[in-house]
């Protein structure tokens, strides 16, 4: 495996274990946007608040893909992150690379990891959430747990750090449903800090942004077939 440590700056995790307030989630001007580029892929560290693709609303035309295409005009979308989520996002260069990476995502051959600050502290050190998800049509873009019509969704979680009234979790989504991590964590009583859709007001108010970051992306390179690893430290 080719290990590519792509984070422009290794930011320290919060150690405020005795504090009941959330770590400040501010953008860091030292973080690079494009972390890696070659003839087949472009990997970026998307900031929170930037859409992955253009939105319909005014002001949402500036997005990750348009910024990448300004430098790499053959870049194509393979997967997305929520606008409020920061972290690693890969784009394919050309149709062949896009087909190869899209297949890998569909077959769950790409390993994605996240970190999040959540409200409350789980008693066990790790667990698995296996709850089916479906669109909550009357309240779009919200999703909801739906045992009858939902699609299977699975998330593994591990406690990384405990604090007063909150904790940092490492997250491994096996599936990639819309808002999966946000809905799953809220469903087990540990909503993500700063989440305007799924956290109750007192948990939402603990952070100035959604405290969810895509920290790790491991996959086979679409051209060489070698395993490549990209990492990005959370900015919160």
The pLDDT value recorded for residue 28 is: 65
Fold of 2-10+29-231: Pseudouridine synthase (3.30.2350)
Q: State percent of the chain over pLDDT 90.
A: 83
Q: Do 59 and 70 touch, CB atoms closer than 8 A? A: no
Per-residue H/E/C for 164-178: CCEEEEEEEECCCCC
Rounded to two decimals, what is the model's pTM?
0.87
Our answer to whether residue 40 is catalytic in this structure is no
51-107 pLDDT, tens per residue? 999 988 777 789 999 999 999 999 999 999 999 999 999 999 999 999 999 999 999
188-222 pLDDT, tens per residue? 999 999 999 999 999 999 999 999 999 999 999 99
The pLDDT value recorded for residue 4 is: 56
Selecting among 40, 45, 82, 195, the annotated active-site residue is 82
Cα gap 65→149, rounded to integer Å: 32
Evaluate if residue 26 carries a pLDDT over 70.
no
Task: Using alpha carbons, select from 176, 32, 167 the residue that is nearest to residue 112.
Answer: 176
118-167 pLDDT, tens per residue? 999 999 999 999 999 999 998 989 999 999 999 999 999 999 999 999 99
């Amino acid at each position: 495996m080719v290990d590519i440590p792509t984070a422009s700056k290794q930011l320290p995790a919060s150690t405020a274990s005795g504090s009941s307030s959330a770590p400040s989630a501010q953008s860091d001007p030292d973080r690079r946007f494009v972390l890696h580029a070659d003839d087949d892929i472009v990997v970026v560290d998307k900031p929170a608040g930037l859409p992955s693709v253009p939105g319909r609303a005014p002001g949402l035309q500036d997005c990750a893909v348009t910024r990448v295409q300004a430098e790499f005009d053959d870049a194509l979308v393979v997967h997305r992150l929520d606008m409020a989520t920061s972290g690693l996002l890969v784009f394919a260069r050309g149709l062949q690379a896009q087909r190869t990476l899209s297949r890998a995502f569909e077959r769950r051959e790409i390993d994605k990891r996240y970190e999040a600050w959540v409200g409350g502290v789980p008693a066990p050190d790790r667990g698995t959430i296996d709850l089916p998800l479906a669109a909550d049509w009357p309240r779009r873009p919200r999703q909801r747990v739906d045992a009858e019509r939902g699609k299977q969704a699975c998330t593994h979680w591990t406690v990384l750090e405990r604090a007063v009234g909150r904790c940092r979790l490492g997250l491994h989504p096996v599936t990639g449903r819309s808002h999966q991590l946000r809905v799953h964590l809220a469903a087990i009583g540990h909503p993500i800090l700063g989440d305007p859709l799924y956290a109750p007001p007192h948990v939402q108010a603990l952070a100035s942004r959604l405290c969810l970051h895509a920290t790790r992306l491991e996959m086979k390179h679409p051209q060489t077939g070698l395993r490549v690893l990209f990492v990005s430290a959370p900015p919160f």
